[in-house]
Structure 1
Amino acid sequence: MASYLGSKASNVRGVISFVVILLTTGWLISIKSAESRTTTKFHQPESNCRKHSALITEYGGVGDGVTSNTKAFRSAVYDLSRVARHGGAQLIVPPGKWLTGSFNLTSHFTLYLDKDAVLLASQDESEWPALPPLPSYGKGRDAPAGRFASLIFGTNLTDVVITGANGTIDGQGSYWWKKFKKGELNLTRPYLIEIMFSHHVQIFNLTIKNSPSWNVHPVYCRNVIVQGLTILAPTDSPNTDGIDPDSCKNVRIEDCFIVSGDDCIAVKSGWDEYGIRFGRPTKHLLIRRITCISPDSATIALGSEMSGGIKDVRAEDITAIDTESGVRIKTSPGRGGYVKDIFVRRMNLQTMKYVFWITGNYGSHPDKLYDPKALPVIKNINYRNVVAKNVTMAANLDGIEGDKFTGICISNVNISLAKKAKKLQWNCTDVEGVTGDVSPPACALLPEKNADCPFPQDRLSIEDVPLKVCPPFRTTQYRV
């Protein structure tokens, strides 16, 4: 399965159409001192571009793939943070291989990776600060003590952008995958991008690969856009989720191509008693035009950490190839919370184990302190306009005894079976709902009622938020 990585990576641009960034002309570059450092000031019509800009080389950065640039990145962000409130600041990473450990971002700030720029994540653990567990999780996922800071990290930020001319962030994850598989970790592996307690976050036009664990993790954020990402990991790499919106509000994820060892998109909101107590849901989430390859996981997963609740998720124009399932709901007694008002339409699936999958006995608890009587509410789950080919099993829908999952609606679905398909195509327990025009016919708990499952007609506010794009940068014009 890992062979997909090489074959698909070379054809990424042919598989998915990324956002076309309209370039403007007539811009000037002038250089002036700002707070005793040399920065580059851009003058041009767009009001959403940064006033102050600097190259990582101005802070001693060396793009040879060997020299550590952790100090350079930390110094650059600190220095630019002092002028960022006066028109915004931008740190430009020019072509080269820039080895670095974890560093923090600041508000009103853009990190820009130029074409052929590669951020290489350090494999020296001393360059990764330790952080306490997330409050909605209570424990680290790999080890209870806590977690390593992410490569690109930020908390309590306003207006932060991570982008580029399709530059690359390479997590060099093999070091971490080996330690995880051997049980040698004392802290949870780092993610590549994690932004916490922040608003107006944009991450777009990048290639991200080989993450130690999750790739992109906005958590406790609002007004988030993730767009035009190519995310690549070997399909046998552990927990390399693509994009994980977690206890976030108003999120747009679109035009991404993901090859993963875990769920391509995993929607979360906290783990058992910790997530229930923290009580922050993920809601008003739009996912569209996503292509996923993940033979052992879901295209879109809701949960399993969903104890703060997941509500109003809209997914459309979803493509999956050789992936375990389409949209999967994962929960368990002890989770509490809810997954409700989920709307999915226009899925095109090829070579799948399941098309529809709901798991009510997922387990995987952080500790023994959870309340097994904290039962989740799963209701108003809608799927329409699905075409799936070479499928092993149409649906595996397991609710919880005494806690039925209700309001399931599935309509206009055509599933073509694999040569070695299961004899039982629809397995349904403790669920209620209806279907309409579904082939092969659904189980008795989801009777044919000529259903036409809904999809919201209103627009989410995040749909109308533009990307903060500026003219392309020519490194030959920078003073280095």
Structure 2
Amino acid sequence: MTSPFILALSARMAALCLPVSGARYDLPQPLAWRLTGHNVTDGMAEKAVLVLNDLRPATAYRFEAEGVGAISFTTPALSGLVKAADFGLRSGTDIADEEAALANARALAEAVAAVPPDGMLVLPPGRHVSLPLRLKSHMTLHFEEGAVLQAPASRQHWPILPARDDTGRMLGSWEGLPADCYAAPLHAVDAEALTIEGPGIVDGGGDRSDWWTWPKETRNGARRPRGLHLIRCRDVQLIGFTIRNAPSWTIHPQGCEQVAAVGLSIQAPHDSPNTDGFDPEGCRDVTLAGLHFTVGDDCIAIKAGKRGPRGEADHLAETRRIHIHHCLMERGHGGVVIGSEMSGGVHDVLVEDCDMIGTDRGLRLKTRRGRGGRISNIRLRRVRLDGVQTAFSANAHYFCDADGHAPWVQSRDSAAVNETTPVIEGIAVEDVAIHGLAHAVGVFLGLPEAPIQSVTLSRVAVHSHDENAIATPPIMADHIRPMRHEGVLAEHAVISCDDPALLSAGVISLVASETSP
């Protein structure tokens, strides 16, 4: 019998994984559990990742669940508790009240400064409108049940992060390049041992301000903020809260190490622009477990920066060791996406025991000539796809940026290989069930000068098709023909599939090269 294991642990919260065979986001059936410590608590678990709240610091606990064994753990000690209400925090103010937003930002900044090392700041129940708050090292921000941290409707007094700090390191960013950007409602820079937790809500206010009306533009020379922006942080835990209505990407760890995001709800309207759910960029050792996504763009987009227009690369950092499990991607352009900003390289990504429902794509890789970088060792297993358009895709002719449709980007003729040539190799997909497929099982379009290597599909089953599907090009590249209910197609890609029936006899491109008729 495999015992539960700890995913994240703080003085007041614990997140556990219940290792039940056949579990994805939900358990096959509810399990009774019991927690003993300073008192006894009983409950029923319906999800594979269980978040426990209202624990006591420095207390020994024993957790038991029906059919999965037991585990003992001790919560960390807490050096001090700071209450935001003691610093004059106002609740229930109007989001248009600029004075209240500024006053609350000052109160929260004073409260953060008062938190001792390894202490906790508690946000009480109520809606607290505040300008962006910067967190620090060795602290926990805890949202009580009913607490909402709400961004104001106005950008008045909103801080802007410069593209680089005083030492020249990237600080603000936009789509993989250094850029001035508005600070996120919650953000941290160079913080260590930081925990953000609790059953409360972070609301970025994108639905009640004008952020979503200028998705690719600037205001006051700055790009839109994220919902939660973590820059060069280390040893971060994000546990149990809801984050919604981000002005752009919802959670953006940038250059971080050892990040665990567990039991979160990440929300944005389906038509909100570029509101990706979780975008680790230039990060190492990131775990995403038990997350529920309903967003306006990609649910998870793994990135590694973008080479600059003149070849600038000093801001790039590889992304490595990303583990995604027991998550629910319930709408979005892609379930798990890699790129298109991948110039620093993306390696060792494992996606397992997840549900993707109503996402346009399941696993999606995208890049283009000029990016450089390498994508390698990408694994997806024990995943259910329901209502997807194309289950798996890898596209090395992605038409992003102003020159994305230029002949040198889109040509199917071989080009010279250099440091700007992207490389994709090592994609393994196994034990995947597909329901309601619209366009194609898989489309893999590589570069003639750098074909996609070592793609393996094992035990992939198509259970049903979307009978209302309209034939549509399944990837964003030029010269792609519309597809409907097709299998696996490859061009300049090496594919191994254990089911010959999945391999399509069709072609991807309408033309073989720029010079073909």
TM-score range, shorter chain: 0.7 to 0.9
1:319 aligns with 2:355: yes
Structure-2 residue corresponding to 1:104: 134
What amino acid sits opposite 1:163 in the alignment? E
Of 32, 39, 52, which aligns to 1:21? Answer: 52
Structure-1 residue corresponding to 2:395: 359
Of 261, 282, 286, which aligns to 2:319? Answer: 282
| Secondary structure class of the residue paired with 1:294 | strand
Structure-2 residue corresponding to 1:405: 452
- Higher RCO (C-alpha 8 Å, min separation 6): 1
Q: Equivalents in 1 of 2:501, 2:46: separation in Å?
A: 28
Structure-2 residue corresponding to 1:477: none
Q: CA offsets per residue over residues 397-445 of structure 1, 9 Å max, x none? A: 1111211010111110011322245164333211113111365335699
| Secondary structure class of the residue paired with 2:264 | strand
Task: Pick the structure with more helix per residue.
Answer: 1
Judged with a 3 Å threshold, the aligned counterparts in structure 2 of structure 1 residues 330 and 91 are, in CA distance, closer, same or farther, namely same
Of 206, 212, 222, which aligns to 1:173? Answer: 206
Of 370, 386, 402, which aligns to 2:432? Answer: 386
What amino acid sits opposite 1:382 in the alignment? A
1:155 aligns with 2:189: yes
Q: How far is 1:16 from its partner?
A: 4.7
Q: Equivalents in 2 of 1:15, 1:399: separation in Å?
A: 42
Q: Equivalents in 2 of 1:176, 1:142: separation in Å?
A: 23
What amino acid sits opposite 1:170 in the alignment? D
Q: What is the percentage of aligned positions where both structures have the same residue? A: 27
Structure-2 residue corresponding to 1:419: 467
| Secondary structure class of the residue paired with 2:290 | strand
| Secondary structure class of the residue paired with 1:324 | strand
| Conservation of the 8 A alpha-carbon contact between 1:410 and 1:438 | no
Structure-2 residue corresponding to 1:343: 379
| Conservation of the 8 A alpha-carbon contact between 1:106 and 1:157 | yes
Q: Equivalents in 2 of 1:143, 1:378: separation in Å?
A: 22
| Secondary structure class of the residue paired with 1:64 | coil
1:113 aligns with 2:143: yes
Of 238, 260, 263, which aligns to 2:295? Answer: 260
Q: Equivalents in 2 of 1:182, 1:49: separation in Å?
A: 45
Q: Equivalents in 2 of 1:196, 1:413: separation in Å?
A: 38
| Conservation of the 8 A alpha-carbon contact between 1:136 and 1:269 | no
Q: Equivalents in 1 of 2:266, 2:53: separation in Å?
A: 23
Q: TM-score, normalised by structure 2?
A: 0.73
What amino acid sits opposite 1:391 in the alignment? L
Q: How far is 1:363 from its partner?
A: 3.5
Q: How far is 1:136 from its partner?
A: 6.2
RMSD: 3.1
Q: Equivalents in 1 of 2:339, 2:176: separation in Å?
A: 17
Structure 2 unaligned segments of length 5 or more: list them: 1-43, 60-72, 410-417, 470-483, 508-517
1:198 aligns with 2:233: yes
1:430 aligns with 2:430: no
Q: How far is 1:65 from its partner?
A: 3.3
Q: Equivalents in 2 of 1:201, 1:142: separation in Å?
A: 22
Q: Equivalents in 2 of 1:17, 1:264: separation in Å?
A: 19
Matched pairs, number: 412
Structure 1 unaligned segments of length 5 or more: list them: 1-12, 29-44, 446-480
| Secondary structure class of the residue paired with 2:314 | helix
Of 260, 277, 285, which aligns to 1:225? Answer: 260
Q: How far is 1:104 from its partner?
A: 0.6
Structure-1 residue corresponding to 2:161: 131
| Conservation of the 8 A alpha-carbon contact between 2:49 and 2:289 | no
What amino acid sits opposite 1:223 in the alignment? Q
| Conservation of the 8 A alpha-carbon contact between 2:376 and 2:424 | yes
Structure-2 residue corresponding to 1:448: none
Q: Equivalents in 1 of 2:384, 2:280: separation in Å?
A: 23
| Secondary structure class of the residue paired with 1:65 | coil
Structure-2 residue corresponding to 1:473: none
Q: How far is 1:204 from its partner?
A: 1.2
Structure-1 residue corresponding to 2:17: none
| Conservation of the 8 A alpha-carbon contact between 1:16 and 1:257 | no
Q: CA offsets per residue over residues 45-65 of structure 1, 9 Å max, x none? A: 956243111111111101113
| Secondary structure class of the residue paired with 2:156 | helix
Q: CA offsets per residue over residues 369-390 of structure 1, 9 Å max, x none? A: xx97511110011110110011
| Secondary structure class of the residue paired with 2:174 | coil
Alignment of 1:10-159 (within 5 A): 16=47, 18-21=49-52, 24=55, 48-66=76-94, 68-78=100-110, 80-81=112-113, 84-85=116-117, 88-133=118-163, 140-141=174-175, 146-159=180-193
Judged with a 3 Å threshold, the aligned counterparts in structure 2 of structure 1 residues 283 and 346 are, in CA distance, closer, same or farther, namely same
Q: CA offsets per residue over residues 328-375 of structure 1, 9 Å max, x none? A: 00111111111101111011011111001111112434899xx97511
| Conservation of the 8 A alpha-carbon contact between 2:306 and 2:316 | no
Q: Equivalents in 2 of 1:364, 1:306: separation in Å?
A: 13
Judged with a 3 Å threshold, the aligned counterparts in structure 2 of structure 1 residues 72 and 241 are, in CA distance, closer, same or farther, namely same
| Conservation of the 8 A alpha-carbon contact between 1:139 and 1:366 | no
